[in-house]
């Protein structure tokens, strides 16, 4: 008997979360993992190169949704995924992270009824929800559950709240996430702390990452540059903030070289404000398009610090003991602050904090419980427990 599992992948940060799990599930005789790509990210350098780096095959199912407003994108994913669910009838749907597709696939899956779906009724004992005795639909599991910024203006916070409210299994990365879920009244037995799956990808590819020569190819010395990533709407969609942000980066680059791989959303906005020529002219500011996982991680491994608004980068720098300045008023990853590597900043203080960073030697020992490269194994065990009766 096999358990058919949909791994939902959609946007760049999802790919390193599904890869370790896909590889772990492929080793299990009872598991039939299928990769479902919603198409939220579709550019070669936002999607395909990550599949290559992470050793993932082409997606088994592609929804081809693409960009749009929140409602358009989420709605299109729901419409397309509902059809796929009825055709494919997975036993388990695994959603990761907090992007629009995470929420949309969760809503589609939780409202499906296999038995009343009409034409394709599933005979008793056949695949599709029947292995999960109380459900007439797939079981839904959320990997990276429980994170909260408590900032309702973030689209991701809405996605997290909806997903965690509806999912049957909540795999969390840290104790704060367990606490958040329990404070929201989620049953303790649904919550299973498994650790940080992103660290599995990092450890899986560590030796390949370390062999890369990205920074020397760019003429940079290890420990001698800062790495910048910015893509949050709150920073890059506001035409009043963007010019100040760019001028601040240029001034910082006069103290220490900066590498800035630009996200498509950010580039679009900078182009609209005619800011690209200004950045490209700055001597010590290396502007590029999005960079593939292995090369990007090599740049993180060797940077002096990161300036970011990304969630994943706050975690990766903490794990590696690298200072990180996060251009946000809050974070859903408070453990990165507690460990002392990450600091929340406003734009006005950015330069001051860079100067402070550069003035002191920094090296942290940042061990976090269950951030150990073995999270995928714990997820597999949790799935086995959930489907215990049927296995
Ligand atoms: C999305 C996620 C965000 C995540 C980020 C990682 C939501 C609400 N946001 O934000 O949580 O941190 O991904 O990158 O789900 N675009 C391209 N090519 C692509 C993808 C996007 O050009 O392959 C452009 C399009 O103009 C698009 C814009 O980027 O409209 C934004 O893409 P979208 O997926 O809506 O949000 P992100 O900002 O990428």
Position 45 pLDDT exceeds 50: yes
For residue 100, what are the CA distances in angstroms to 39, 44, 161, 196? 11, 20, 12, 21
Produce one character per residue of 186-195: b if its CB has 16 or more CB atoms within 10 Å, e if not.
beeebbbbbb
Distance CA 51, CA 72 (A): 26
CA dihedral 219, 223, 224, 225 (to 10 degrees): 80
* Confidence band of 363 (pLDDT split at 50, 70, 90): low
If phi > 0 it is left, if psi is from -120 to 50 it is alpha, else beta; for residue 123 that is beta
Helix (H, G, I), strand (E, B) or coil at 137: coil
Cα 48 from chain centre: 16
In whole angstroms, what is the distance from residue 359 CA to residue 143 CA? Answer: 39
**Average predicted confidence (pLDDT) for the chain:** 94
Reply yes or no on whether the pLDDT at 126 is more than 70.
no
Mutating to test ligand 1, I would choose from 9, 10, 39, 41 the residue with most ligand atoms within 8 A of its C-beta, which is 41
Q: Return the closest-CA partner of residue 269 out of 223, 311, 236, 318.
A: 236
* CB-side neighbour CA atoms (13 Å) of 209: 17
Report the atom number in ligand 1 closest to the C-alpha of 159. 8
Instruction: Indicate the pLDDT class of residue 116, thresholds 50, 70 and 90.
Output: confident
pLDDT at 131: 59
Distance of CA 68 from the midpoint of ligand 1 (Å): 9
Q: What percentage of residues in the chain have a pLDDT greater than 70?
A: 94
pLDDT band at 366 (very low <50, low <70, confident <90, very high): confident
Contact 39, 45 (CB under 8 A): no
Six-digit token pair at 349? 């203080």
Q: Sort 152 into a burial class: Cβ within 10 Å, 0-12 / 13-18 / 19+.
A: exposed
- Chain centroid to Cα 202, Å, comes to 13
Of all residues in the chain, what percent carry a pLDDT higher than 90? 90
Q: Using DSSP, state whether 304 is helix, strand or coil.
A: coil
Residue 331 confidence class, pLDDT cut points 50, 70, 90? very high
What pLDDT, on a 0 to 100 scale, did the predictor assign at position 388?
76
Q: What is the pLDDT of residues 247-295, one digit of tens each?
A: 999 999 999 999 999 999 999 999 999 999 999 999 999 999 999 999 9
Element of type H or E holding 245: helix 242-253
- Show the tokens assigned to 193: 């702390």
- Residues serving a catalytic function are 231
- Lowest mean pLDDT across 48-57, 202-211, 351-360: 351-360
Distance of CA 219 to the CA centre of its chain: 29
Pocket probe for ligand 1: among 16, 37, 67, the residue whose CB has the most ligand atoms within 8 Å is: 67
In this structure, of 17-21, 355-359, 372-376, the range with the lowest mean pLDDT score is: 355-359
Instruction: Please answer whether residues 93 and 105 qualify as being in contact, where contact means their C-beta atoms are separated by less than 8 angstroms.
Output: yes
The span from the CA of 261 to the CA of 253, in Å, is 14
- Reference 328, options 236, 265, 263; nearest CA is 236
42 lines ligand 1 (CB under 6 A): yes
Verify whether ligand 1 is closer than 6 Å to residue 149 (CB atom): no
Q: Which phi-psi region, left, alpha or beta, contains residue 32 (left: φ > 0; alpha: ψ -120 to 50)?
A: beta
Question: What is the torsional sign of CA 203, 205, 210, 214?
Answer: negative
At 33 the pLDDT is: 98
212 ligand 1 Cβ < 6 A? no
Asked whether 12 lines ligand 1 (CB < 6 A), one says yes
Q: Where in 45-152 does DSSP place strands (E)?
A: 61-62, 92-96, 139-143
Cα(372) to ligand 1 centroid in Å equals 29
100 lines ligand 1 (CB under 6 A): yes
- 3-class DSSP assignment, residue 189: helix
What pLDDT was estimated at residue 361? 77
Helix-then-strand count for the chain, H and E: 18, 13
99 lines ligand 1 (CB under 6 A): yes
Angle, CA of 373, 43 and 314, to the nearest 5°:
35
Pocket lining: 255 vs ligand 1, CB cutoff 6 Å: no
Tens-digit pLDDT profile for residues 51-110 = 999 999 999 999 999 999 999 999 999 999 999 999 999 999 999 999 999 999 999 999
pLDDT tens digits, 135-179: 899 999 999 999 999 999 999 999 999 999 999 999 999 999 999
Q: CA 54: distance to chain centroid? A: 14
Of all protein residues, whose CA lies closest to atom 33 belonging to ligand 1?
A: 67
Q: Relative to the CA of 46, which ligand 1 atom is closest?
A: 23
CA of 57 to the centre of ligand 1 (A): 22
Answer for the pair 68, 109: CB distance below 8 angstroms, yes or no.
no
Cβ contact 6:62 at 8 Å: no
């Amino acid at each position: 008997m096999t358990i058919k599992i949909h791994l939902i992948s959609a946007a760049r940060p999802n790919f390193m979360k599904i890869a370790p799990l896909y590889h772990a599930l492929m080793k299990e005789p009872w598991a039939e993992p299928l990769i479902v790509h919603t198409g939220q990210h579709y550019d070669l350098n936002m999607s395909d190169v990550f599949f290559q780096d992470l050793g993932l095959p082409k997606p088994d199912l592609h929804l081809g949704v693409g960009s749009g407003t929140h409602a358009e994108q989420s709605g299109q994913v729901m419409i397309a995924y509902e059809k796929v669910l009825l055709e494919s009838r997975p036993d388990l749907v695994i959603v990761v992270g907090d992007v629009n597709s995470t929420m949309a696939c969760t809503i589609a899956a939780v409202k499906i009824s296999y038995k009343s779906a009409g034409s394709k009724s599933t005979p008793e004992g056949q695949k599709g929800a029947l292995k999960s005795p109380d459900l007439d639909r797939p079981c839904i599991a959320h990997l990276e559950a429980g994170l909260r910024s408590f900032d309702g203006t973030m689209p991701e916070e809405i996605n997290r709240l909806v997903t965690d409210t509806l999912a049957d299994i909540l795999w969390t990365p840290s104790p704060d996430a367990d606490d958040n879920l329990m404070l929201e009244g989620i049953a303790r037995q649904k919550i299973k702390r498994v650790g940080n799956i992103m660290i599995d990808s990092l450890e899986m590819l560590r030796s390949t990452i370390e062999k890369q020569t990205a920074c020397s190819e760019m003429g940079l010395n290890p420990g001698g540059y800062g790495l910048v990533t910015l893509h949050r709407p709150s920073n890059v969609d506001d035409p009043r903030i963007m010019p100040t942000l760019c001028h601040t980066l240029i001034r910082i680059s006069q103290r220490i070289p900066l590498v800035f791989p630009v996200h498509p959303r950010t580039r679009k906005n900078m182009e609209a404000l005619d800011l690209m020529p200004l950045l490209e002219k700055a001597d010590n500011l290396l502007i590029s398009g999005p960079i593939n996982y292995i090369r990007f991680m090599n740049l993180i491994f060797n940077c002096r610090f990161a300036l970011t608004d990304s969630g994943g980068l706050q975690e990766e720098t903490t794990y590696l003991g690298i200072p990180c300045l996060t251009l946000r008023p809050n974070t859903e990853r408070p453990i990165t602050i507690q460990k002392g590597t990450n600091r929340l900043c406003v734009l006005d203080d950015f330069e001051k904090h860079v100067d402070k960073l550069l003035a002191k030697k920094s090296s942290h020992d940042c061990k976090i419980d269950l951030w150990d490269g073995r999270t995928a194994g714990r997820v597999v065990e949790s799935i086995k427990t959930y489907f215990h009766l049927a296995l």
